[in-house]
């Protein structure tokens, strides 16, 4: 897929949607709209060896050619001035990753790459023994600026949401097990009682023009009421399920509603973070290209369903797939092996980025952000994310060496970006 091909924009989306029976009912939209670690409740993700951080001099077979990365200063990036399609590396830095472990095509399945992740000693050491992350520019780059085209898209969706009464102080979460886990954003609930600590850089980066942080902004929202008890968006219902694939978001359940429909009805959110891909990559044996195509079609259905209801979508990719204990590593060992799943996970992660670039969606490049963390943010199972020993709400140099902490930071940065652009903050 050519990420920069304008011809793929609305037409490509409509063809992909037409190829599937829509189980998500889509509410009518203006005709003129152009859409340009805790397995307790978690499931899916990935990573690679800490010793391999940094681009290889040559790109092996099966890896997309490198794409130009725009230089970033030390400040949080500002929205791009041009409405033209952004360079792929600028709108999703992970698309420029070109190490051998970044392979994402069928050609890569002819070899095997030792992933060297999932080791308990490495995963348990995140944020400890001097392990700290100070590459704040990486985190800023992982939440790409909103182009003029992206601003136009989200403003139109947001305006529709306002006419439908969507609450600008409420967001929803849609995804698989890593979204089920309360280590994802749960620490920031007003009454969570969990440890929250922000480094000075993080606090500045999360501060809205009003002077409040984006955390305080959403703590002021009421997403659900349970009698006299109210839940803010960090604490409330999530459209997330262990083992879920992107198709699940629009599948009708027993109540006759899809998870997306239930989310919107229960929370009335103005925004939603959507994260799938790891389970799509692992549930069956098929060429990475086929898996990515299916994943894209289902992601576009979820986006369409949410946007038609006036919910601004922030799309995210997922992490690397690492070595799983007890799972064969290479193609010669078993058909369903870690290397195959890793390549397919790379394919779905890249496709999420490509969709966001092409369709001008706000995007969280979680893959890029996590590559700075110990064990690439992965826990002992090589699949789920780690959390800092003092909690996933600790966003300082030590905490940001752990998977859930990194995900929390870049997700908050993405929410801050859209709030600032749409609601002023």
pLDDT attached to residue 370: 95
pLDDT attached to residue 147: 92
pTM for the model stands at 0.81
- Rounded distance, CA 400 to CA 395, Å? 6
What percent of the chain has pLDDT above 70? 77
- Rounded distance, CA 410 to CA 394, Å? 13
Total length of the chain: 425
What does the buried/exposed string (b/e) look like for 149-177 if buried means 16 or more CB atoms within 10 Å of the residue's CB? bbbebbebbbebbeeeebbbbbbbbbbbb
Look at 163-177, 247-261, 305-319, 400-414 and tell me which has the smallest mean pLDDT.
247-261
Q: Is 54 exposed, middle or buried (0-12, 13-18, 19+ CB in 10 A)?
A: exposed
For 365-393, what is each residue's pLDDT tens digit?
A: 999 999 989 989 999 888 899 999 999 99
- Rounded distance, CA 271 to CA 290, Å? 30
Output the average pLDDT for the chain. Answer: 81
DSSP string, 399-422: GGGSHHHHHHHHHHHHHHHHHHHH
For 180-198, what is each residue's pLDDT tens digit?
A: 999 999 999 998 889 999 9
pLDDT attached to residue 332: 66
- Residue 53 CB coordination number (10 Å): 11
For 289-303, what is each residue's pLDDT tens digit?
A: 999 999 999 999 999
pLDDT band per the 50, 70, 90 thresholds, residue 237: very high
Question: How much is the average pLDDT of 21-30?
Answer: 50
pLDDT attached to residue 118: 62
* Alpha helices (H) in 286-379, listed in sequence order: 288-308, 338-359, 366-370
For 132-155, what is each residue's pLDDT tens digit?
A: 888 889 999 999 999 999 999 999
DSSP string, 158-190: HHHHHHTT-EEEEEEEEESHHHHSTTTTGGGST
pLDDT band per the 50, 70, 90 thresholds, residue 310: very high
Bigger pLDDT: 161 vs 227: 161
Question: How much is the average pLDDT of 55-66?
Answer: 34
pLDDT attached to residue 419: 96
What percent of the chain has pLDDT above 90? 61
């Amino acid at each position: 897929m050519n990420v920069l091909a304008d011809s793929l924009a609305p037409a490509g989306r409509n063809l992909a949607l037409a190829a599937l029976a829509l189980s998500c009912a889509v509410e009518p939209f203006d005709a003129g709209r152009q859409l340009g670690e805790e397995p307790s409740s978690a499931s899916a993700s990935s990573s690679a060896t800490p010793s391999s951080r940094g681009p290889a001099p040559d790109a092996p077979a099966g890896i997309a050619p490198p794409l130009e990365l725009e230089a970033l200063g030390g400040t949080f990036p500002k929205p791009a001035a041009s409405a033209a399609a952004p360079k792929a590396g600028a709108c999703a830095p992970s698309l420029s990753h070109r190490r051998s472990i970044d392979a994402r095509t069928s050609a890569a399945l002819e070899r095997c790459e030792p992933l060297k992740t999932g080791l308990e000693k490495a995963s348990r050491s995140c944020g400890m023994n001097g392990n700290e992350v100070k590459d704040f520019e990486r985190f800023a780059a992982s939440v790409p600026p909103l182009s003029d085209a992206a601003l136009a898209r989200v403003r139109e969706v947001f305006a529709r949401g306002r006419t439908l009464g969507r609450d600008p102080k409420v967001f929803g979460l849609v995804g698989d097990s890593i979204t089920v886990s309360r280590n994802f954003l749960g620490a920031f609930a007003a009454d969570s009682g969990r440890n929250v600590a922000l480094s000075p850089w993080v606090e500045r980066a999360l501060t809205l023009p009003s002077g409040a942080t984006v955390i305080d902004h959403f703590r002021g929202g009421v997403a659900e009421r349970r009698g006299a008890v109210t839940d803010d968006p960090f604490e409330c219902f999530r459209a997330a399920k262990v083992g879920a694939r992107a198709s699940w978001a629009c599948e009708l359940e027993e109540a006759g509603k899809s998870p997306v429909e239930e989310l919107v009805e229960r929370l009335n959110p103005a925004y939603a973070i959507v994260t799938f891909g790891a389970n799509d990559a692992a549930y069956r044996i098929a060429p990475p290209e086929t898996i990515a195509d299916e994943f894209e079609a289902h992601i576009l259905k979820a986006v369409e369903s949410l946007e038609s209801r006036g919910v601004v979508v922030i799309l995210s990719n997922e992490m690397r797939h690492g070595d799983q204990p007890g799972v064969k590593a290479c193609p010669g060992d078993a058909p369903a092996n870690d290397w195959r799943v890793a390549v397919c996970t790379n394919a779905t992660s890249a496709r999420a980025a490509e969709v966001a670039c092409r369709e001008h969606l706000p995007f969280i490049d979680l893959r890029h952000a996590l590559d700075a963390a110990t064990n690439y943010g992965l826990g002992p199972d090589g699949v789920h994310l780690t959390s800092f020993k003092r909690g996933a709400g600790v966003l300082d140099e030590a905490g940001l060496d752990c998977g859930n902490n990194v995900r929390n930071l870049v997700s908050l940065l993405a929410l801050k970006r859209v709030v600032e652009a749409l609601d002023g903050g």
